[in-house]
Chains A and B, each alone.
Chain A
Amino acid sequence: MNAKHLFSLNNRFLAPIVVAIGALALGIELQSSQEYMFHYRESQQLLFLDWNYVADLLMQFGGVGIFLSQFLVQFFIHPIVGAAVTAIITGITAWMLWLTLRKICDNIALLPLTFAPSLIQILYLTTPYHHYSGLVAIMVMAIALWAYTLLRTNNYKLRIAIGAVASIAMYLTFGSVGVLFAVCALLFDAMTKRERWYLSAIYAAIVCIAGSYLVARGEIIDYDFAYTPKFYYEFYVVMTPFLNLAWVASIALFVVAYALGYAKRLNQWISGLVFVVMCLVVTGTYMKRHTTEINKSAYHYMTYYHHIVNEDWDAILNSKLVNYQNPLNNNIVNFALSKKGELLDKLFLYPQPNGTSSLLNEQMGTFVEEHSIYSEIYYHLGIVSQTLELSLAAMAGTYPGTPLLLQQFIRSRVVMGDYDLAEKFVYRLENTYAYKDWAQKQRELLHNDQAVEADPEYGLKRRSLPDLSSEFVSMQGLLYDLIKVLTANPNNNVAREYAIACLLLGKNFDAIRYFVEEYYGTPMLPTMPTRLQEAVVTYSERDMDYCRRYGVSEQTISRFASFRQKILNIRHRQPNANPKSQMSEFRDTFWYYMLN
């Protein structure tokens, strides 16, 4: 088949093949480059499959679009689904736009450009602040537009009536994309010279009137939400020309199609060439911009979040994305170590440049995402009331919360024995697609103290609750909180390891000495972990009897002697050299950390 045949057959075979290949390639690319973004998006929404909730959602301005997108996103918890659904939506949008535009100009060179509006939307999706409903809305708009072009009636009144109803219906159900539909329909009518095409301006007028009415009633926040893509963003996002580009591109497609109509008689070879060039331009532009956008976004954070939710601790520890200068990154790595039971053993094998903040940054930011993760860490430590505080604070920023936050809330309530309240949220999660099994398991524990206390996780946490009092959490620092937990439950090994790690990272020998002398030999510190032994030897290197009395092993004493000797040798040989680079066999020790 030569090019002439190929391009002459475009309407039947080439276009669908190109769209299918484009969608497939996009799906593969999305899966490899932003898989965790899709998981993260799912983890940030809660769709209650409950008629009252759904009815409320549907009754909102643009509610059908919101529901439809949330319905799709709930399946993104499964691998590949996010990329596949997004690629299919893009393919459908491109195909529908092509079927519309070819009625203005039937030139295959236009086809690659029909991907542009959705591809730009996908770039927006690299941040969680753009709602998936923006992508869905463009698809539905493209389908509606194509359906509108099928109206072959010569009765212009009927066409205008149908167009007006479609515009207002699209506007109310899918949001401000109704404006885009009205504009595109007008352009189509004008460019195809439909009878009294100018009357199609009525669509935009009706939509504008409806928008003004809804803004005046307080149903829509403001005019920019009513008439622009701002509707598909979180309210705090400042719109830039780039964020409006998807809509601009949709309109520009009509102009390009109209212009290309004048070049209809182009040689098939030239058409083919333009087609190939367009493919390359669209793909290249997308790929280049995608790299920029993904770097700008908190993609690494989305990755951690996924690993935490799925308890994939090795993935965190082996990640090359970790920025140890950032305390949150540091905290996540140490959390993963603790989850694996290796916090003290491997603490110093990982960079800890932020002192005690490496362990847990108490000066955390106010972002929902940070609160969600810290809430999880505090729960792990047994400081359950802080989990409650952080999860409630984060829930307020993500109304009605995220699955993880609701789970944290339920777990903290179950630990505290606040079953009625836990049940309210268990019921909510029971009405979700992905979390109902988890919720049903929690229901079995409600109002059953015996079962809660027998549960390995809940039992440990409940035994770690301090006595009832009016003392506030987090008023006197992490170490104080951990000691409170340990006092309540000396068997809480996680709290013990964190307390020791906190002491070591703080390099505060007075506090270390106090801790050792106060608690060694008690249930709170029945044995001396090696890392703590290393600290004891450090502050009492001239009193080995003291060291032995407080549980320092001969092995540690001997290793310390080797360490000391090697340091002395290096300093003797190279007085100005940093000995650290030559002490790699001691990397796991507190002494090595002290060389910083």
Chain B
Amino acid sequence: MKRMRFLLCVVAVISLAGCSTRNITISRSLGTEADIFPDYKDIVIPCNIAPMNFNVLSEGDHQLIIEGADSQLQVAAEDGLFDIPIKEWRRLLRENMGQKLRFTVARAEGGEWLAHEPFTMEISPDSIDSHMAYRLLPPAEQWLTISIQQRNLETFEQKVIYENKLSENNCINCHTFPARNPNKMMFHLRAKNYNGTAYVNNGKVTKLNTKTPETISSLVYPYWHPSERYIVVSTNIIYQSYYYHSEDRMEVYDEKSDVVVYDVEKGELFTNELLSSPTAMETLPTFSPDGKKLYYCTAENVENIGLNIEKLKYSLCSVDFDAEKGEIGTKVDTLFNAPLDGRSISFPRISPDGKQMVIVLMRYGNWSINHKDADLYTLDLTTGEIKPIDILNTDEVESYHSWSSNSRWMVFSSRRDDRLYTRPYFTYVSEDGTYHKPFLLPQRNPLTHYRDILHAYNIPELISGEVKVKAHDIATAMREEGTTLTFRK
């Protein structure tokens, strides 16, 4: 019994020691900036974001002091990681909303604590949607292990929406939600026994067979109409080739493509000659937030495209869309003229408040994720003026982007860290349209997470809550015959 008591005491002492936090006092300043990963210095963060843990990259014993207006929190580094307790972090966010938190990294030296130059994080009262859905896939468009995951941006929790081990390790195409609604989604599976499009509506999964005799392929790149009745989608015949020697390594390109609209209620596809021209390729469609305009990228057919890839340049066009009648307009507006400009456009995305369109521009093609020169630009829908968003762009790829419900946040893909593995970066967009320094998706241990992960984050989509559908239900539904769509003549 005595021995038992002794052991309990030892356990209690060890536990208390483990829970203890040391508070330090700074002796003097080092006058240098701390070398940290990710670069979270002087950024704007949402008021509901998960702890912005980071790693200090220099050797030694380090301490982090986070100071708000009325309180402070100190965190000791473990193997260089500042793992900020989530409860304390939330308290700091709550107490300092609209203000700046001051971060000071201190290093122990000769029994003293020496401080690096402090940096700040401004807490925006504009929250970000609570979740983000994305594909995790090996780079270079390969797919032995692909999954669609969802990350709670307020914590570090990541959950599977669907993974391809449930369906013959097939390719999973892009996923899409209507206006960030997590209760509805659509994505396509390419698999021998599971081939088809998964349509999820409040937990119910329906398999759609979307290849019709009138369309060139199944549905590929989708975008929902705000009414949730229509989904505009491209159909594409896609190829992939590697360069002899190029900074872009490889290219993915269409040999043919059209745009069609899927009427969810009637289960039919329709298009018109503007969206499925035999002399041009139309792809990457999107609706305006009011649903009255349909935007799409289009390029003239290129003969012998494998030998003339640089001639493949996409313009941005729009047509009217009448959701009441389910009709596509017949007059084309060209917002970006590739032959005149000399560059090529992809992924037009308009903010929910309708004020900003952000696009990706590159020298040619539309598979921007493989173009080192791909950068994000704003396109003024009234004047057609195009401006680079310099604060977001680097020498590496910047590509796919998605807006938050309140139009104040945008997530985009970037390969700035290691040139192959795409990662999601977030930026705050002020009311006046100013973009702020982007920050990398927080992780519990960012250094080891991003160093070790062998998957890229692909198609990051902000969503307003958790997707509840069970992965097994999707796989089960996809094994069934499914519903074959019809084509409106």
- Residues in A lying within 8 Å of B, measured CB to CB: 50, 52-53, 215-218, 221-222, 235-236, 384-386, 388-389, 392-393, 395-400, 416, 418, 420-421, 424, 427-428, 465-475, 481, 484
Contacts and interface: CB of A to CB of B under 8 A. Distances in A.
B95 interface: no
B165 A399 contact: no
B246 A235 contact: no
Nearest to B445: A52
B142 interface: yes
Interface in B239-283: 241-247, 249-251
Interface in B457-489: 470-472, 475
A55 B424 CA distance: 25
Contacts of A468: 245-247
Contacts of A470: 243, 246, 251, 309-310, 364
A424 B418 contact: yes
A400 B145 CA distance: 9
A385 B242 contact: yes
B2 to A, nearest CB: 28
A472 B245 contact: no
8 contacts: A221-B166, A396-B140, A398-B144, A424-B421, A468-B247, A469-B243, A471-B244, A473-B242
B306 A472 contact: yes
Contact of B245 (A217, A218, A385, A424): A385
A481 B245 CA distance: 12
Contacts of B163: 218
Contacts of A466: 244-245
A515 to B, nearest CB: 20
A472 B251 contact: yes
B451 A427 contact: yes
Contacts of B162: 218
A395 B143 CA distance: 9
A153 to B, nearest CB: 24
B138 interface: yes
Nearest to B307: A475
B419 interface: yes
Q: Which 7 A-B pairs have CB atoms at the shortest separation, nearest pair first?
A: A396-B142, A218-B471, A472-B241, A389-B242, A392-B140, A399-B144, A399-B145
A109 to B, nearest CB: 44
A396 B470 contact: no
Given A399-B454, A424-B421, 7 more contacts: A217-B470, A385-B245, A393-B140, A465-B244, A470-B243, A472-B309, A484-B244
A397 B306 contact: no
Given A216-B472, A469-B243, A471-B243, A50 B452 contact: yes
A397 B142 CA distance: 8
A465 B160 CA distance: 42
B168 interface: yes
B138 A53 contact: no
A112 B82 CA distance: 59
Interface in B116-133: none
Contact of A396 (B138, B364, B418): B138
Interface of B: 138-140, 142-145, 160, 162-163, 165-166, 168-169, 241-247, 249-251, 306-307, 309-310, 364, 418-421, 448, 451-452, 454, 470-472, 475
Contacts of A235: 165, 168-169
Contacts of A50: 452
Contacts of A474: 241-242
Contacts of A392: 138-140, 142
A263 to B, nearest CB: 48
Most chain B CB within a 10 A radius of its CB, from A386, A392, A398, A416: A392
A583 B442 CA distance: 74
A556 B168 CA distance: 58
A156 B290 CA distance: 70
Nearest to B250: A389
Contacts of A475: 241, 306-307
B243 A218 contact: no
A407 to B, nearest CB: 16
Contacts of A481: 244
Contacts of B166: 218, 221-222
B347 to A, nearest CB: 21
Nearest to A423: B418
Contacts of B246: 468-470
Given A217-B470, A217-B472, A221-B165, A385 B419 contact: no
A46 B421 CA distance: 20
A481 B244 CA distance: 9
Contacts of B249: 385, 388
A50 B452 CA distance: 9
A52 B138 contact: no
Contacts of B138: 392, 395-396, 399
A396 B451 CA distance: 19
Nearest to B455: A399
A403 to B, nearest CB: 14
Most chain A CB within a 10 A radius of its CB, from B241, B245, B250: B245
A481 B143 CA distance: 28
A385 B242 CA distance: 7
A396 B455 CA distance: 11
A399 B162 CA distance: 18
Nearest to B448: A52
Contacts of B448: 52
